[in-house]
Every structure is written in structure tokens, then in C-alpha cells.
Amino acid sequence: MFEAFAMNEERVLAVAGLFQATALAQQLANEGRCDEQALEASLKSVFRIDAPSVVGVYGNVSGVRLGLRTLIAQLDENGRDMAVTRMAVTVMRLERSLSSRHELLDQLQQGIVAAQRQVDHFGQDSPQVISRLAAVYSSTLSTLKPRVMVTGNPQLLQQETVVEKVRASLLAAVRSAVLWRQVGGRQWQFLLNRRQCSMLARGLLTGTTLDNG
């Protein structure tokens, strides 16, 4: 019984994906820019609905390196960024709201399919794709409660290109929250297994460092 509720690498990768996407949203809101490699991996995860494994959703473990670092920092009381934590917890709650709204789930899926066609035409990193993903988020997830509140530099948050990347990142955050739920993750589980979660995240992060020399 206890083992079923313990953290494992799949759950840690999913929650790292969630923290990566919320960290990207926070970077964009504060600085107007973010870790582009991490953003690429997070946005790709939105389209990998039928990936054969959790790690496959992000391409490889290196795809969530920023998320693993962020997760470790959030589990360390001295390195915690409460804005990122609040966003991640809100996204978990938002995902639960979404799961009971079948019409919105259908609308979300149709929007992602349409965005995939733009990926095929313009490329993953194109402004057109980011704009489409942002629009999908606005027309579906932002209509639900709780609303994800992003705070940062007010001037940056008035720039359309920044806002679109923030919304696209939040869509990726919800994708990871869905994945977290699919592999048996629960919010209380994350809170009660902080030490185990941190150890697993450190091990995965060390593995990516060794793999990349």
C-alpha cells in the first residue's frame, strides 16, 4: 500500500516538467526571456500525447533539466521561489477542474491538433505556433478556476510576444500536470515525500550531467 503512494522516477519527471513550465513563465514575466532549450522541450511535450513513456514526453531526461533544478530548489527551504510554487499548485488544481469538463477537453485537443499543423508548416519555434498555443490556452484553460496568476515586470507583461510565450508555457505546465495525474501523482504525495522526491530529482539531474559530459 505504501509503495503505491511513494514517489518514483516517472512521477518526479512529470512534476519536474510542471515546475519547468512554471519557471519558464516566471522567467518570461520577470525578464522577457527564458531558457530557450527548456522552452522548446516543454512546448514539444504538448504535442506528445501518445509518447511511449514519461521521459519520451520530454524527449529525454535532459529535456527537463531546468525543471529538475527548479524542483530541487523548491524542495530546499532556502532556495524556494514561492511564485513558482504557487503557480505549480494552482496548475495542479486547474488540471482537476479541466478533467471534469469534457467539452473543454475536446476543444483543447482540437486546438492542439490545429497547432500541430502549424508546426508542420512553420516549425516548432515559430511565432505562429507559440501564438496558436497561447490562443488555445486563453480560449480553454483561462476560462476555468482557479486562474493561474503570473506576476512580474508590468511593462514586459504588456508585450504581446512575452504574454504569448507565458500562456504557451502554462499550457505546457497543464500538460505535465495531466501526465503527473496519469502516473498516479497526487498533490499531497508531493508534499509528504519531499525528501524522497529531492533525492530522485538529484539522481536524475546527475545522470543528465554525466550524459552530457
pLDDT, tens digit (0-9, with 9 covering 90-100), for 150-184 = 999 999 999 999 999 999 999 999 999 999 999 99
Q: Which pLDDT score is estimated for 81?
A: 86
The count of domains in the chain is 1
Cell of residue 143, nine digits: 476560462
Q: Which pLDDT score is estimated for 8?
A: 92
Cell of residue 129, nine digits: 505556433
In the predicted model, what is the mean pLDDT of the chain? 92
Q: Residues of the chain with pLDDT > 90: what percent?
A: 81
CATH classification at residue 204: 1.10.3890.10
pLDDT, tens digit (0-9, with 9 covering 90-100), for 38-70 = 999 999 999 998 889 999 999 999 999 999 999
Instruction: Single out the residue of 39, 59, 22, 15 nearest to residue 176, CA to CA.
Output: 15
| Per-residue pLDDT at 187 exceeds 80 | no
Q: Which pLDDT score is estimated for 129?
A: 96
Which alpha helices (DSSP H) does the chain contain, by range?
2-5, 9-31, 36-47, 54-57, 65-75, 82-99, 102-122, 127-139, 160-182, 187-192, 194-211
Return the number of other C-beta atoms located less than 10 Å from residue 49's C-beta: 14
Could you list the residue range(s) of the whole structural domain that residue 106 is in? Answer: 2-211
Q: Which pLDDT score is estimated for 125?
A: 85
Cell of residue 73, nine digits: 530548489
Q: Which pLDDT score is estimated for 191?
A: 73
> Does the predicted model carry a pTM greater than 0.85?
yes
Please indicate whether residue 19 or residue 125 has the higher confidence score (pLDDT). 19
